[in-house]
Structure 1
Amino acid sequence: MERKARDYAMKLMRPFTAEEQTVVDDALKDGPPEEILAKQGADSVQRSSMQTLCPGQWLNDEVINYFLKICLVRRDKKMCTTDTGRRRSHFFSSFFIQKMFDEKSEDPELRGRYNFDNVKEWSKKVPGGDIFNLKYIVCPINIDDNSHWTSAVIFMEDKRIQYYDSMGGTDWSKLEGLLKYVKDEYSAKNGKELDVTEWELVSCTSDTPRQKNGYDCGVFTCMFADFISKDCQLLFNQDHIDQCRQRIALSIMNYCAIDDSDSQAAFATATLSNTLAAQAAVATSNNTLALALEDGNTSREAIRYWQYYQRRRRMASSL
């Protein structure tokens, strides 16, 4: 089991294809700061935010929340479709913890205190509307208004809440608050008390990957969510972080987190239009390529990618 987890982790850190690298380079290059490179519903990523994925930059909440809420959610859906016995996971935005602890309250006596009323409606948006049917609940945490990024993960099946901090710290108030949240959710759903003695709170462990600078915490936070939600060991370290930054960028441009199987399947890369990113998808069920382009994008670049994958499909079928 441990070897399988290590193999999965290594596949997640696979090298990019030339086409994927082109997508990443285009996404990170200079351009109009307000240009929207990725958009899904009310969530979007502007070029200025995407450029925080360049080496040495502090990730902002737009990138982190989009990666978790859109990219990891889509991969999670795909995994649960493939494995029908697998429970869905949920990825809260960074505003969940902020609201739970009233961190923006104008009243200093309320600021920082747990407040279930602020988040009691949030569970309606989790898959199935019930947190007790989930596998993982990932909660990114923005500490002291952009001084540091950490995260906490609720392992619903294991009845464990664990803290992940690339600086090695643990905010016990957040762990205790999340346990209160689970308890309050249980009471709201079932009308009775949850036996919290069955639950375990775990501080940041010594083997949690560590950053060696003052700006990579957001990348580590994304990777914690990425690897844990894929059931992988946290085998990355500071030496991998620039690659992880590009991994996040590619995931955003493809509207889905990279999967360990992507290196073995035809991988449709996204291209940029002047206003929105074009979204590509591979229809593997009938060996055809479906290229979904937003806003009627028919650029030469998009057509070139379509032709490239058609050639690959024909070559594969001739083997």
Structure 2
Amino acid sequence: MFDSVDDLTTEEKVSSRTRSKLSNIRGSTSPKINILSKRKSKLRLEEVYPQFSEIFKYNKESTIEIREWYSANNKNIIYVSPESITAKKLYELCDRNIWLSSDHINAYLSYLSMKFSHVFSLPSFFYTKLTTTGRYEYSSVIRWTKKTAIFQKEIIFVPIILDESHWILAAIFMKDQRIAILDSLGILSIENSITIGRNLVRWLNDEYHSKYNVYEEDECKNYKIKGGDPDTNEINQSTRSSTIIGKAESKNQINFELDIMFQNEQPPQMDGSSCGVFVCMFARLMAENIERDKIKDIANLQEANKRFKKVMCTELWEYAKKSGQVNFEKYEDS
């Protein structure tokens, strides 16, 4: 069952404290709110994209069951290999006002990696570890994908936290040779987006060399930045980075396009607390192979974000029951 549209279109304004804390990573002032965008944000999902509404269905009974389970034994843990989430953290997903922590995001993205064989999700502290000293350090993460054939995946998700207060998502599309940067608040500067793209390209290059024992002189290649104003050199500038994946004997250059998806647009996040939900929703829609422009449209529907937190709650709970980690019958009798 879906909640009423009135319940789902309530807006919380981004707090001045949040804006101030994030000001050092802002590239420009926030885009002006477009009246058409405001109207569109209050449309029902099934009216705009009925073919995708199934993704946003959730079970209200799951919320009730989780509350009872948490009340009966709040020390339980659900394992979503290789991540885990405590009963308390799962219970928090039932609260619309709770900010998502790394535990929530890692558990759900790990769930997506199991649900969709063509995707792989790195944990939230991967990028922090990769750049822990303020510069790129592959040695810090060299063993992190030891058991995963990442070059056989189609999409690699990299959740990133900015200034310890705002979640964004980087998605590496291996076949399309595209790195998408999705910032629901639209505060990440172009320069910082380029830095993230460069670091991820370099990581892929080092991963390939490490896994296949390939050592050759790096070649240079261009990034093309998508999503900016064609008349603005700053936004559409090309940058240089090292060549990545390809056959060991190949000298061909491979271009990865950097796609800043909400650059110079009305950002979809209308409050100061739902960035983590957006990260998980973006990943789910990409895993479903939904086109980028449709993902942007869905993200601008306030209803979609409000529902998706409940989707996460339902899916993680149902996974726990199906995998035998929760025997809910004994909690019903207690």
TM-score normalised by the chain length of structure 1 = 0.66
Note the alpha carbon deviations across 1:233-263, whole angstroms, 9 max, x for none: 31243222221111000111122xxxxxxxx
Deviation at 1:166, TM superposition (A): 0.4
Matching of residues 119-268 of structure 1 within 5 Å: 119-126=141-148, 129=149, 131-145=150-164, 147-170=165-188, 171-172=192-193, 173-188=195-210, 189=212, 190-192=214-216, 193=218, 194=243, 198-206=255-263, 210-232=268-290, 233-234=294-295, 235-236=298-299, 237-255=301-319
For residues 76 and 295 of structure 1, do their structure 2 counterparts lie closer, same or farther at Cα, with a shift above 3 Å needed?
closer
Give the SS at the match of 1:122.
coil
| Structure 2 match to 1:36 | 76
Partners of 1:45 and 1:63 within 8 A in 2: yes
Which residue of structure 2 lines up, in the alignment, with residue 25 of structure 1?
64
- The percentage of counterpart residues that share the same residue type is 25
Q: Give yes or no for contact 1:33–1:48 (8 Å, CA) kept in 2.
A: no
Aligned to 1:258: none
Asked if 2 retains the 8 angstrom alpha-carbon contact of 1:52 and 1:60, the reply is no
1:67 aligns with 2:108: yes
Q: Is the 8 A contact 1:183 1:196 kept in 2?
A: no
Which whole-Å CA distance do the structure 2 matches of 1:52 and 1:241 have between them? 16
Structure 1: gaps (5+ residues): 1-5, 78-87, 103-110, 256-276, 281-291, 303-319
Alpha-carbon displacement from aligned partner over 1:133-184 (angstroms, at most 9, x marks no partner): 2100000111222x10101000000111110010113332212111111222
Deviates more, 1:152-161 or 1:22-31: 22-31
CA distance in 1, matches of 2:122, 2:198: 17
Q: Which has the higher contact order (CA 8 A, sep 6+)?
A: 2
Inter-CA distance 138–295: structure 2 relative to 1 (3 Å threshold): closer
- The 8 Å contact of residues 72 and 331 in structure 2, kept in 1 or not, is answered as no
Secondary structure of 1:31's counterpart equals helix
**Following the alignment from structure 1 to structure 2, what is the Cα–Cα distance between the partners of residues 244 and 151?**
16
Please list every run of 5 or more consecutive structure 2 residues that lacks an aligned counterpart in the other structure: 1-48, 219-242, 244-251
| Contact 2:177 2:256 (8 Å CA) reproduced | yes
Q: Does 1:9 align with 2:27?
A: no
Residues 277 and 305, structure 2, Cα contact 8 Å, conserved in 1: yes
Match of 2:134 among 86, 92, 112: 112
Amino acid at match of 2:76: I
- Report the residue type matching 2:261 in the other structure: C
Map 1:265-280 → 2, pairs under 5 A: 279-280=321-322
CA distance in 2, matches of 1:198, 1:42: 32
Offset at residue 33 of structure 1 (A): 8.5
Kept after mapping to 1: 8 A contact 2:108/2:316: yes
**SS of the residue 1:94 aligns to:** coil
Over the residues paired in the alignment, what is the CA RMSD in angstroms?
Answer: 2.8
Count of paired positions: 238
Equivalent residue letter for 1:205: F
Rounded Cα–Cα distance in structure 2 between residues aligned with 1:152 and 1:135: 14
- Once residues 182 and 318 of structure 2 are traced to their aligned partners in structure 1, the CA distance between those partners, rounded to angstroms, is 27
State the Cα deviation string for residues 27-60 of structure 1 (Å, max 9, x = none): 2577379432522456322232124321121101
Alignment of 1:269-308 (within 5 A): 279-280=321-322, 293-294=324-325, 299=330, 301=332
Helix, strand or coil: the match of 1:125? Answer: coil
Q: What TM-score does the superposition give when structure 2 sets the normalisation length?
A: 0.63
